[in-house]
């Protein structure tokens, strides 16, 4: 059974007593779990004595209030999935527990966080880095697992862990996709059935186009509203809207 812990202090007591000396693997999420999240959990279970997931829909990383409101929160279903995946603990804090300071303090990165998604979502990565710093400090994990679906996020978190000498090793995990090539994402559930068949075109355009520009053109022609397509660090990154749902993806080039 996955045990639920809601308060940072309760978790820290547990970490210092029953879990003392054990290797702890950590999978932070915003819930609405799918096979992508479960692949991170499986890897953590292979590499650690204890695996803890967290679910926290972090308001400070949402620059769009509507996006935050409509973010799916199927908690009962998530708990059932965590149970069947064999997660030992779920850390499930609320906003007050995570932000006793009311977000007066934050972690900022001044380079990569301004590019790609950061250029289109002001403050997004400040919110991400701040909440991940808090979570890593609370959980006391030895290893923390992040998906390459959010490759920019993975790079920023890894850089933060190194810059601040955090204890956790940040481990990247490959993107899990549908057969169609569409990267699994909690936001896919929000796609209207009429638009869903178009969604796999995002990855196809990234893989098959001769340049980022050509990919952006193809996507616009197919009905996406493109935020960006950009080649960087040996990868091709993109974010684009289908209707009101923002999808992101990246592939190696």
Known catalytic residues are 37
**Which residues contact residue 138 at a Cβ distance below 8 angstroms, ignoring those fewer than 6 apart?**
8, 11, 12, 91
Q: Are 180 and 204 in contact (CB under 8 A)?
A: no
Among 79, 161, 176, 248, contact with ligand AMP (rule: CB under 6 A): 176
Contact 188, 215 (CB under 8 A): no
Q: Residue 207: which of 251, 175, 247 has the closest Cα?
A: 251
What is the rounded distance in angstroms from the CA atom of residue 151 to the CA atom of residue 159? 12
Q: Does residue number 218 form part of the binding site for ligand AMP (CB under 6 A)?
A: no
Q: How many chain residues touch ligand AMP (CB under 6 A)?
A: 17
Place of tokens 């693997």: 25
Least separation in angstroms between residue 146's CB and ligand AMP is: 4
User: Does 185 help bind ligand AMP (rule: CB under 6 A)?
Assistant: yes
The single residue among 51, 60, 186, 250 that binds ligand AMP, judged by CB under 6 A, is 186
According to CB under 6 A, which residues from 8 to 37 bind ligand AMP? 29-30, 36-37
Q: Is 173 in the site for ligand AMP (CB under 6 A)?
A: yes
In whole angstroms, give the CA distance from residue 64 to residue 90.
Answer: 27
Residue number with the smallest Cβ distance to ligand AMP:
147
Q: Cβ of residue 134: shortest distance to ligand AMP, in angstroms?
A: 15
Q: Using the rule CB under 6 A, give the single segment among 79-87, 181-189, 201-209, 214-222 that binds ligand AMP.
A: 181-189
Q: Are 124 and 63 in contact (CB under 8 A)?
A: yes
CB 191 within 8 A of CB 199: yes
Among 2, 113, 175, 188, binds ligand AMP (CB under 6 A): 175
DSSP 8-state class, residue 124: H
- Interface characters, 96-135, with ligand AMP (x: CB under 6 A): ----------------------------------------
* CA-to-CA dists, residue 45 to 51, 144, 153, 193, angstroms: 6, 11, 22, 35
- To the nearest whole angstrom, how small is the minimum distance from the Cβ of residue 38 to ligand AMP? 9
Angle, alpha carbons 216-190-85 (nearest 5°)? 105
User: How many residues are listed for the chain in this entry?
Assistant: 253
Q: Which residue among 40, 79, 205, 247 contacts ligand AMP (CB under 6 A)?
A: 40
Under the binding rule (CB under 6 A), the answer on residue 183 touching ligand AMP is yes
Tell me: does residue 149 bind ligand AMP (CB under 6 A): yes
Non-local CB neighbours of 221 within 8 Å, separated by 6+ positions: none
Least separation in angstroms between CB 20 and ligand AMP? 27
Contact residues for ligand AMP (CB under 6 A)? 29-30, 36-37, 39-40, 146-147, 149-150, 173, 175-176, 183-186
């Amino acid at each position: 059974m996955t045990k639920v812990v809601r308060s940072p202090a309760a978790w820290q007591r547990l970490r210092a007593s029953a879990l003392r000396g054990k290797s702890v693997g950590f999978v932070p999420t915003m819930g609405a779990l799918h096979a992508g999240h479960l692949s991170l959990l499986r890897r953590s279970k292979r590499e650690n004595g204890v695996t803890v997931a967290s679910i926290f829909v972090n308001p400070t990383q949402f620059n769009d209030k509507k996006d935050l409101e409509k973010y799916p929160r199927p908690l009962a279903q998530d708990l059932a999935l965590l149970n069947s995946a064999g997660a030992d603990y779920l850390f499930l804090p609320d906003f007050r527990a995570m932000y006793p300071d009311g977000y007066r303090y934050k972690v900022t990165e001044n380079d990569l966080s301004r590019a790609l998604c950061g250029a289109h979502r002001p403050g997004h990565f400040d919110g991400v880095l701040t909440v991940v710093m808090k979570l890593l400090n609370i959980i006391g994990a030895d290893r923390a697992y992040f998906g390459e679906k959010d490759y920019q996020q993975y790079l920023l978190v890894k850089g933060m862990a190194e810059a601040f000498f955090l204890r956790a090793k940040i481990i990247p995990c490959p993107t899990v996709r549908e057969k169609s090539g569409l990267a699994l994402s909690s936001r896919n559930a929000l796609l209207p059935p009429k638009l869903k068949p178009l969604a796999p075109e995002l990855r196809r355009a990234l893989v098959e186009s001769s340049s980022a520009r050509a990919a952006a053109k193809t996507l616009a022609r197919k009905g996406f509203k493109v935020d960006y397509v950009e080649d960087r660090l040996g990868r091709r990154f993109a974010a684009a809207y289908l209707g009101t749902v923002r999808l992101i993806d990246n592939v190696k080039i």
